[in-house]
Structure formats: structure tokens, C-alpha cells
Amino acid sequence: MLKLLKFLKPYWWQVLILVLSTAGQVYTTLQLPALMADVINHGIVPGDINHIWQIGWIMLAVTALSAGLSFVSSYFAAVVGANFSRDLRATIFSRVLSFNLSDMKEYSTASLITRTTNDINQVQSVMVMILSMMLRAPLFCIMGLVMAIQTAAEMSWIIVVGVVAVVLMAALIIALVMPKFKIFQKLLDKITLITRENLTGLRVIRAFNNEEIERKKFEESNSMMTRLLIYVDRIFELQNPFINIIFNGMTLLCSWIGISLLNEDFSYLGDMTAFSQYASFVMMAFLMLSIMFVMLPRANVSADRINEVLKTIPKIKWNGTTKGVPDKRASVEFKNVDFSYPGAEEKMLSNVSFKTEAGKTTAFIGSTGSGKSTLINLVPRFYEASAGSVLIDGLPIGNYSKEDLMKRIGLVPQKGILFSGTVTSNIKFGAPNATPEEVRAAAKIAQADGFISRLPKGYDAHIAQGGTNVSGGQKQRLSIARAICKKPDIFVFDDAFSALDMKTDAKLREALKPVTEDAVVLIVAQRVNTIKDADEIVVLDKGKVVGKGTHFELLNKCKIYQSIVKSQFSEDEFEKETKLAQKSAKEANHA
């Protein structure tokens, strides 16, 4: 939490005013009991009505001043608190946007989202509490103590007794209850988990007739939770009665001691009332502080999680100096590229080399974990090769400025990612200046025009956050349209076709041909059918290139490729394909 205080720096003078006005407000509030004692001692006791009025006016003035200061301090607490969280949020947001995939991998997206939303909210509400309560409590403690001693030093031990009692009680309850809160959280998580499983596994549970088992599982956690809650309740509810006893006991003690001191000095009559008020101010302050001790550790967890993000510096630096995109057909080359995830011993890619140029399609195939997705992610520099180099137009990609590199790439990821907005705004995402005609043309190629025109508002139809209001296949087609609309030099399709049914897949690839004529096409796929026509197929296994060539060439010479084809084709078809491959090899020999 302390580390985050640096975000208050730009607002130092507001904070200063806040501190000063809070101090002033506390001071003026504490003057009232003293003035009241004055009214009793020098007005009421001698019967001086004039004096009562005189002090009365002063009290009014002090109240007005106190209210003014209180307003000033609340105002600045609000301003500082709101600005603090705005800056923090903005800093984290832009930091996360500057992260690369390897940085993201350290956290998981869900965790980063929680850090930017919930954790910041948590820190913000505690910061507001610090700015108002935390500041006030110690001031009340110190000034209240001083005033109490000034009023009646002989009675000050009462405050010590009261404070010790309050602190002991708070410590005891916290010590007894806090450990249970951890168990509480775990049980609550479990209850939520079972509920979620019951919802997501609805069909399976019913298919197996296991509603009863699920119910029992739930009941077990539920009743454990109830028992725990009742146990905690038994202790936790002691709090209020105890506080009442302490406060009332202290008031009684003040009256008793005050009265027994009356024979020494009659002014204890007024002083004892003032004193008991000071004593309750001081004890209230201690109570607040003990609440802060409960709140702070929780906020600290959030603050630590935020600090972690702030400490993470993007591993990939964009120092490129290119200005603009050259007006020529692109080429992509991998030269002996190695890659391993930070901290991992095993190489995800080792010694990968290939070269391709505009007008050619290069496909990557291999089993899960073979590194094909990783490889393709090196092209937009989401990851940095640990050895070797990735060249575009013969220039290492590190030499490009970020904008220039990205301008050339049209990426379609595995999952169709959409943003809230309209169909058009999604397709135009990479080409803000695209005309409606261009948008429509892109959608047509992506086989999306049909379903878009069937939507109630067509191209202006609303897309919900995460594209939840369109189906998986539609999402994927829109995401392909987005890449096409950008008119990139390099298309990167990361397993983008597998969410489509085979018929749409085939139609789409046919329509793509004219668009990709002047572009490099890199494509990762699971289905052999999707990549059969590629100019070059790169077969990957455990991060190594185990085969390179056309479909037929690979069928003839690459064992792994053969087994992949075998698994996806029927036996007849496989034989037919193999024969065709052998035939084409012979023809090549003759020529």
C-alpha cells in the first residue's frame, strides 16, 4: 500500500490542505467540551447569564469554523481519492496494453482483469478511508489526550484504562475471528464452485441422474458454512455490547472521580463532563484504528497485486526506426530461429528456417504442443526469438517501428475475438478509414455477408462484449473479415478455420484467393483439407521442422505428415491420395 502512495505526489498541495484542514477541524471540535465546561464553571455555578451568552456565541463561531474546515477536508479527500485511483487505473491499463504475450503469460488475462478492476476498487476505497478516517483518528488521539490532560490531569488514568480495554477487546476478537475468515472464504469459494459446476455441467449431471449426489455435495459445504457462521457470530457479536460496557463504565468512572474531587476544586463539576467527552473521542479514535488494522491487510493484498503489474516491464522493446511501409511485395524469412518461454528449459522451437514471399501460402501443421502457434506468434513480435532471426523484406523485425510492422500484418487468431460495438466497427478495427463498400467486400469474402444482412440492423447491428450475441462460426468469420479489410501484406491465420464447418471453410478459402495474390499467407491448421493446396507445408514436431514441401511431396517422404493424413482421411481416400502423390512424383522426375 505504501508503495502506491507515490501516486499522490502530483496532488501534494491538495493533500497538504487536506491534512491542515483535518487538523483544524479536529482541533475546533475538541474546543466545544472545554467551552461547555467554561459555561458550567464560570456561568452556571456563579449564575452569570452574560457569561453563558458570551461563551455561547464563541461556541457558535467555533462550530461554524469546524463545519467549514470539515467541508474543505471532505472535498479534498474526495478530489485526491478520485484522482489517485484514476491515475492508478490509467497507468495499469496502459502498462498492460504494452505487455507482450510472454508478459501476459506470467499472469493470465483473468488475473490482470481482476487487478485492474477489483483490486483497484479495493485500494481506492481504503485510500478514501485513509484520507478521511486514518488521518482523523491519530489527530483525535493526540489532541484529545492533550485536551483531556489540560482539563483534568488527575483523571487521565481513566483514559488509559479505557484505551487498554478497547484495544484488548479488539485484539481478542480479531485473533479469534480472523483465522475463521480464511476458512469462510474457502467454503464460500467451494459453494460457488459447486454451483458453477451444476450450471455448466447441467446436461451431464442430468444425463447421469446425479442431481442427488450434487445436492448432497452442496449441502455438505452449505451446512459447514452455516456452522462456521454461527460460531463466528457468537464471538463477533460480543463486540457491540463490550464497547457499550466500556464507554458507559468510563462515563461512570469520570462522574465518580469528578464528584469525589469536587471538595478539592468545585470546577471539576464542569471539567468531569468535558473530560468524559474527551475520553470517548480518544477511545473512538482507537476503535477506528483497530478497524483499519483489519482493513489494511486486505487492501495490502490488492496493493501487492497491483505493484506486481507495475513492476513488470515489457520484455520486448520497440526501438525500431523505420518510417512508413515500403511499396513492394513482402517476404518473410525465419533464419535458424530458437524459442523458449522465459524460465522454461525446453525449447518450444529449435532451429526453424523457412522463407516465403508474396503470392505464396505457407502452412504449418503438427500436433498440439508442436510449436506451430508459437512460431506464427513470432511474426508480429508477440514473442521474441531467443536465437536466430525473423526477417521481413530482409530486415530483422526488431528494426521496424511497432506501427510499421503491425500495419503489414493481418492476424486472425484461434478464437474469434470481437469488441463491443457494431459489425462495421469490428470489421473496420484495423482500417479505421475503410469505406462501407470495402467493409462489405471484406465481409463477402469472409462468407459473413449472408448472416450479417439477415441481422435486424445489418452492418449496424450491435455486437455485445466478447461477441456473445453471435455464434462461434460467425465470430470467426467476422474476425477474418477484419483482417481482410485491413489489406495487409502478410496474412497470419492461426488455426482460424477450425471453428467453421467444412463447407464454409472451403468456400472461404476459394474466395480468399484473389485477395491474397499479392500477400504472404501464413496459416496454422489442424485439418489437412484446409492446407492441401498450400505452396509449402511445414510439418512441425516438438518444435523442430520435420518436413517441408507440398502436400504430395510430404505424402511421399514425411512419416509424421503421413500419419496426420491417415488419421483424418478414410482408408480409401488415403490410398487414393498416396497414389496421386506417387504419380506426381514420377511426373516431376520425367520433367
Partner 1 sequence: MHDNRGPNVKAKNSKQAWKSYWVSIKKYRLWIFASIAFAVASAIVGIFIPKILGDMTNVAVASYPDIDFDGIGRDAIIVIILFLVSAVLNYLQAFILGVVSAKYTADLRTLIINKIGRLPIAYFDKHRYGDTLSRMTNDVDVLTTSMSQEIADVSLSLTTLIGVMVMMMTISVPLSLISFIVIPLSVIVVGKIMGYAQKYFREQQNTLGVLNSKIEENYSGQIIVKSNSYEKAATLDFNETNQKLTRATMRAQIFSALSFPVTNVFTNLGYIAVCIVGGVFVVEGRITIGDMQAFLQYVSRFNRPITEVASSTSTLQSLLAASERIFEFLNEPEEAPDPENTMAIEKVKGAVKFHDVSFSYLKDTPIIRNFSVSVKPGMKVAIVGPTGAGKTTIINLLMRFYEPNSGYITVDGVPIRDMRRSDVRKMFGMVLQDTWLFSGTIEENLRYGNTRASLADIRKAAEASNVDHIVEALPKNYKTTISEDSDNISAGEKQLITIARAMVANPPMMILDEATSNVDTRTEQMIQDSLEKLTHNRTSFVIAHRLSTIRNSDLILVMKDGQIVESGNHKELLKLGGFYAELYNSQFAEN
> Where in 225-254 is the site for partner 1 (CB under 8 A)?
225-226, 229-230, 233-234, 236-238, 240-242, 244-245, 248-249, 251-252
> What residues between 463 and 482 interact with partner 1 by CB under 8 A?
465-466, 471-473, 479, 482
* 265 or 460: CB nearest partner 1: 265
Residue 206 contacts partner 1 per CB under 8 A: yes
Q: Helices marked H in 237-371 — which ranges? A: 239-261, 268-311
Residue 559: count of CB within 10 angstroms of its CB: 12
Residue 259 contacts partner 1 per CB under 8 A: yes
CA angle 320, 325, 331 (to 5 degrees): 90
| SS3 of residue 242 by DSSP | helix
Kindly report the three-state secondary structure assignment for every residue of 505-516.
HHHHHHHHHHHH
| SS3 of residue 264 by DSSP | coil
Q: How far is the CB of 324 from partner 1 (least distance, A)?
A: 13
Binding mask 510-549 for partner 1 (x = CB under 8 A): ----------------x--x--------------------
Pick the piece of the chain touching partner 1 (CB under 8 A) from 97-105, 327-335, 344-352, 514-522: 97-105
> What residues between 369 and 398 interact with partner 1 by CB under 8 A?
369-370, 380, 382
CA angle 399, 405, 411 (to 5 degrees): 145
Residue 506 contacts partner 1 per CB under 8 A: yes
Pick the piece of the chain touching partner 1 (CB under 8 A) from 43-51, 175-183, 351-359, 454-462: 43-51
End-to-end Cα separation, the chain, in angstroms: 75
Q: How far is the CB of 300 from partner 1 (least distance, A)?
A: 22
Contact 578, 567 (CB under 8 A): no
Which of 465, 464, 468, 467 lies closest to 479, judged by CA? 467
3-state helix, strand, coil in the chain (%, to 5): 70, 10, 20
Q: How far is the CB of 402 from partner 1 (least distance, A)?
A: 7
Contact 278, 65 (CB under 8 A): no
Q: What is the dihedral of CA 576, 577, 580, 585, to 10 degrees?
A: -140
> What residues between 123 and 162 interact with partner 1 by CB under 8 A?
128, 132
Q: Which of 287, 349, 409, 515 is the binder for partner 1 (CB under 8 A)?
A: 409
Give the count of alpha carbons within 13 A of 537, CB side only: 27
Pick the piece of the chain touching partner 1 (CB under 8 A) from 116-124, 159-167, 174-182, 385-393: 116-124
Residue 256 contacts partner 1 per CB under 8 A: yes
Q: Which of 5, 16, 113, 178 is the binder for partner 1 (CB under 8 A)?
A: 113
Going by their DSSP bridges, the two strands 544-549 and 536-541 should be labelled as: antiparallel
CA distance 403 to 586: 48
Strands (DSSP E) found in 374-461: 387-392, 395-396, 409-412, 421-422
Pick the piece of the chain touching partner 1 (CB under 8 A) from 348-356, 406-414, 439-447, 454-462: 406-414
Q: Helices marked H in 428-470 — which ranges? A: 436-445, 449-454
Pick the piece of the chain touching partner 1 (CB under 8 A) from 31-39, 288-296, 339-347, 454-462: 31-39
Contact 332, 379 (CB under 8 A): yes
Going by their DSSP bridges, the two strands 490-494 and 520-524 should be labelled as: parallel
**DSSP-assigned letter for residue 380:** T
* 336 or 576: CB nearest partner 1: 576
Q: Which of 156, 210, 300, 425 is the binder for partner 1 (CB under 8 A)?
A: 210
Q: How far is the CB of 408 from partner 1 (least distance, A)?
A: 10
* 322 or 387: CB nearest partner 1: 322
CA distance 282 to 390: 68
* 387 or 393: CB nearest partner 1: 393
Q: How far is the CB of 303 from partner 1 (least distance, A)?
A: 18
CA distance 145 to 25: 16
Q: Which of 79, 161, 358, 585 is the binder for partner 1 (CB under 8 A)?
A: 79
* 459 or 561: CB nearest partner 1: 561
Pick the piece of the chain touching partner 1 (CB under 8 A) from 88-96, 331-339, 342-350, 437-445: 88-96
Residue 209 contacts partner 1 per CB under 8 A: yes
Residue 413 contacts partner 1 per CB under 8 A: yes
Q: Which of 10, 56, 179, 450 is the binder for partner 1 (CB under 8 A)?
A: 56
Phi and psi based region of residue 330 (left: phi greater than 0; alpha: psi -120 to 50; beta: remaining): beta
Q: Which of 17, 32, 149, 325 is the binder for partner 1 (CB under 8 A)?
A: 32
Q: How far is the CB of 153 from partner 1 (least distance, A)?
A: 21
CA distance 209 to 207: 6
